[in-house]
Chains A and B, each alone.
Chain A
């Protein structure tokens, strides 16, 4: 039963249906989208549960697309992406639930939303590098348009351009890296398993790896707002409509990290040797620097944006430590942060809808005003500062262990400080300013989350808690795949003979 195919195609179908519904039938449009995303989430849940941790690739859909280039439409799930797909589908559903704040050009919005969801799920589901990239772009374009048309704030144009250019640039760098991989493995195929096999037999020459890895690292890094290429993120998310921010910050952003784990590390391990140290330091910069920046923010969205940039640091650190624990932790945090970011942006969207500003200095006492949303926000913030019981903690502490054992002691120390203390600082300040204290001025007519939105929040929180209490659910799936990758990546495992390629 190839669930993945349906998981990826359902949103597209919904998009087409939305396309033919007349624009004034808002109820129908919303209904279709909601139904489709719900179904997608359900399917992904089934797929997640019926996934066999040591069954290799599953739910495969494989069609040749361009045989002369070895391009295939190749969907498959393994331990790494099954969790992410599940998370993505759930976040997508939540995002659709929270999309109520869009009031004009509803039809176009929902069409793009469906397209974006399709792209996101496709990117993570496809095992063919070309489609991996293709779907990502497919998801990016709607993102840009949505921010441009339905965005908020006065500098949304600048934000739109900035995010567009940044992400395109990153994607293109990565594309060159990917092509490099294709060319250099000589596997004459873009499908990841084939490439892995090829690399296992004959690793890419060192000189080539020295080019490929940095290309992938910075290309993907830009997509994940690796310091100092991060400034697009807070700005873009600040300007994006709720659903878009939820989807991009939650899921689409993880594309780059996924690519690093999936392609960069196993394909160019030797190239990685020199760069992992750099990556670790940049990750630290993410954690510490962006954490400090977040402390200064007065606007809730900017705070969340910066904090989510900071959280990327954990994942980079996990990848940089390049051992089973670290990579597993990285995937763990990817999933956890996906849920968390979606939740946080959903909440900020709700607040923004109540009262057209997110200036925290003018808020306060909202826990009384809106107990549901308030509690959700409280828990989100707690999860954000890495409280046990939420999935984030499991991943973060795992990464600490990994980084320490990988020899990044200094970095780990500072990272732990930024995570525990600085992270706690801005999250608690936010709680203090938004939820606690006397009620802020002119918040009287604010109302609590509507059932639909509340369901979304509840769902995300529930997932966070479930994976927080039982991270094993994820790790036992992730572990096997990660071990494969690490086996490929470890220098003693894959040290290619030093060959200089000669041009013919």
Chain B
């Protein structure tokens, strides 16, 4: 049982980020897409925490707090928006959201 090093954390966060991005691109349901977004944000958090641990500096962790807060705000706004949209269109599928194009 080996000690996890910085690179492991980074690998994890990178994986999370990619998964999130993939989700944003391929999933059709707005809510799921939104979750994938959260995943991307948090992957960054993982990386930051790991780094600040590595450097023994607090900046990173402070940053993480900022990000969490911001993410919360984003979620609040985002969900409200998605709900409003659902009320109007009775759907949360992305394909239905292409009235403006070209």
Q: Do chains A and B touch in the complex (CB under 8 A)?
A: no
Question: Chain B: residues with CB nearer than 8 A to chain A?
Answer: none
Residues of chain A touching chain B, judged by Cβ–Cβ distance below 8 Å, are none
